[in-house]
Structure formats: structure tokens, C-alpha cells
Structure 1
């Protein structure tokens, strides 16, 4: 009977109610914190993807403005006609946002990481060959070797274009965004 009396004791009842209240509050607070963290992670993921879409789209639009095969043909013809001709290849910077966000790549969904990283690896390869094409070693090569390197450069840019389109598609699917065909065409024709 002493146990029953302890249970009925108002102080024990108060302690049990307080304990239950604290436990429920702790569980609810944990749930709220996890929900808030999920929301922040989703917002961060959207922000990172939006920034990457902007950077990749810019380069893809730029590459599409040029007929890479025609440019290659024109430059190689000039190199074949004049054995001393060395094409001027401008430096590029197409990874500024990616480089700034590399530590946050883990927030991207798994199906997006592979195409985005593949695209940027291609951009890095283009940057590396540009450095080579601008080097003294390139100038010292014979014209056949220079043509070979320039051909590789154009091929790397074509691959960057293809990989960029794949990465953009993955990012847009992940974010639920679609491209408005008329908006890109208008923007490009307005620039002419």
C-alpha cells in the first residue's frame, strides 16, 4: 500500500507531469530543429544549384555563339597556309562560382554531382590546354604539332559544351526549372 500512496502523493504526480512535459518538449524541440535544418539544407542546395546553373549556362551560351568546327577549320587552314602563323587563344575563367562553392558540393543531390563535376573537370582541361597554347613551348613546336594541339583544344571545348548541357539538364531537373526556349533566343538576338 505504500507504493500506491507514493503514486497518489501530489508531489510525485507533479514530478511525473513535469517529467512528461519536459520529455515531450525535448522531443518536439528536436523535431523542430531537424525540420529547420532540413529546410536550411534545401534552401542552400537550391542556392548552390541556381548559382551553378547561371555559371554553366553562361559558358554554354557563349560556346554556342561560335561554330567551333568552322573556327577550327578556318584556323587550321591559316596555320597550314602560313607555317609561322600561331593562333591567339584568349584565357578563360569559367569556374569562379564552382571554385567558391567546392566545399559545399556535398549539398547537391547525388544525381547532380556526377554531371556537374564531369563538366568542371572538362572546363579545367580546357583551361590547362589554353595555358599550353599560350606557352613558349607551343611557339617553339613545329606547325604540325601546333595544329594537333589546336585540334585538341577545339575538341575539349566541344566536349565541354556537351558535358555542360548534361550538367544543366541535371541541375534543371533537380530544381524543377525548365528553359523557356524563346527567352534565350531573344537574349541572343538582342545582342547582335
Structure 2
């Protein structure tokens, strides 16, 4: 088949951590579940994606977190058309083990001032670390495109920051560009659509909270 016609990225539905960040002190990040609202968001997204994919086959890569797998299953895609595999490189930015609520708020404030790309959580990752592992995943993805029977659709079930960094890596956006973009809402998608010239375009931009400066100007 070659290069797929579309690469669809979806952020998981609302999780327990999105609804109450104090839960990070009691439950591992990877084990957080979807809320009832998160399930509703995922099911709604599934209605839209079933229209997009139609009768075509789909290869899905799913972050290993519980909330991303719950999102994938809630999409209710036709099982016989979809091949799904776990992809650890699409996981959330690692904050590091159980977390103290006061420390969470302190580090979030520090990250906003320092920059989301370069700031490294204590015992965790920076955005740059996530960018690197997304780049490694892209190498795997491009090799898969060479298979003659590769499906015309790719679905990535992942996280908001990871979605932005995937697109940053794919489209060669600068750090300054990345820093101006907001995460998609829970259950939102972005689609990379193959154009006649062989390149991909994104179906709609990420929302901006600021205007990017010139490359090398420092983080916002």
C-alpha cells in the first residue's frame, strides 16, 4: 500500500487525573482510568472516526496507559478491520512515580516559566525527551509504510503533549512554534492527510495561546 492516506492522532478521553490531580499521589499515572465523561468523549470520537475510515483497514498504535487503551476500546471500531498494538514510545511525559500535590503545582508553575520543551520534571522527563522517543517511533512507522499490505489508515491513541510533539517532529516545527501551541482537548483528534505531492497536511491547527518568535529566541 505504501504511505497511508491519513494518520489520525487522538488524545485519550478525560481521565481521573484530569478531573482531580490529587489522585496522582495515590494512583500511578499509567493506571488512571477514564471518567464517565471521558468514556462519552471517546465514544463520540469513535462515531466520527467510523465515518472517516469507512470500510478501510486501520493500523492502530496505542500508548500503554490504561486510559489510552480504554479510549481505544470505547471508539468501537470494527475489530476485523483494525490491527492494534501497544506502543510504549507514545506514552505520556513521565513525571516520576507517585507525586506530591504541592510539588505538582510547584513544578507546573516552574515549567510554564521555563518552557514546556526543555523543563525536566524531577525524576521524570522533559518535553525534549518525549520528542526524541517520538522520533524513534517515526523511524519504525516509516519502515512499516514499506510493507505492500500496510493499511491506508494509521491511528495513534496517545496524550496531548505527545500529539503536539509528534506533529512538531513530523512537520519540523521549531521549539518556539511548539511553545505557542495548546494541547487538544480530551477526545480531540488531528489528522495528517496525504496530498497529491506526497506530503501531509494537518486537517486543522492546534490552538495558539501566543505568537511564535524567531528561531533561537528562547522559550516563552
TM-score, structure 2 as length reference: 0.24
**Between Structure 1 and Structure 2, which shows a larger proportion of helix residues?**
1
TM-score, structure 1 as length reference: 0.26
